[in-house]
Amino acid sequence: MALNFDIRRSEYVTNPVLRYIGYGVIALLLSVVHVVFLRFMQVSSVTPDLLLILTVFIAIFEGQFTGMIAGFLCGLLFDVVSTDVIGTNALAKTVAGFVAGYFYRENHGMQFVGSFNFLLVVALSGFFHNLIYSFFFIKPMQVSFWLFFLQYGLAATLYTTVAALFLMLYVNRRRD
């Protein structure tokens, strides 16, 4: 089934319940991958945010409302597994889903994700996500907010956008 998975005609696409369950499973897997395996992709302590890409993906496919809920739940999940302060990632990813939801066009999700516009939306959402996250992350530290954001926030945004490129290319190829 997996080998012949057709993303356009699959039951996973047409049945919303199965789709949402699929999003949940993917979110769980990505959060574990993030915590366990992303250290291999770490560059100067910066890693791509896979759950942010998923949030943007859901917001573009399902709309702003679902994107925000998905962002909140993905962030909450990440807060739990990463031992971060619970609520920081939830807030940041809610805002990211809200921003990405503005680019929702019904039944045009595949075209959008398979284009470079998807990368721009990931970059824009990542920017707001990291802006909010940096603010709460450095709050208990004696570090300049802007210095931290420019050093790590923008780098994380760029890295996440680069990681989203693989999803874009994959969807683009499937679409063709």
Q: Which residues bind other proteins (CB under 8 A)?
A: 32, 35-37, 39-40, 42-43, 64-65, 68-69, 72, 75-76, 79-81, 83, 85-88, 90-91, 94-95, 98, 101, 136
Q: How far is the CB of 176 from other proteins (least distance, A)?
A: 33
Q: Measured from the CB atom, is 26 or 76 closer to other proteins?
A: 76
Task: Answer for the pair 37, 107: CB distance below 8 angstroms, yes or no.
Answer: no
Cβ 88 to other proteins shortest distance, Å: 6
Residue closer to other proteins by CB (options 56, 91) is 91
Please, what is the minimum distance in Å from the beta carbon of residue 47 to other proteins?
Answer: 11
User: In the bound complex, what is the minimum distance in angstroms from residue 8's beta carbon to other proteins?
Assistant: 27
Q: DSSP labels for 16-32?
A: HHHHHHHHHHHHHHHHH
Beta carbon nearer to other proteins, 94 or 171:
94
Q: Which is nearer to other proteins, 13 or 38 (CB)?
A: 38
What are 137's two structure tokens? 């992350």
Give which of 146, 150, 141, 144 is closest to 46, Cα–Cα. Answer: 150
Report phi then psi at 114, rounded to 5. Answer: -80, 5
Question: From the CB of 174, what's the least distance to other proteins, in Å?
Answer: 30
Closest CA to 42 of 159, 168, 162: 159
d(CA 165, CA 101): 19
Q: Tell me how far CA of residue 122 lies from CA of 36, 59, 130, in angstroms.
A: 23, 11, 12
Q: Are 12 and 19 in contact (CB under 8 A)?
A: yes
85 vs 147 by CB, closer to other proteins: 85
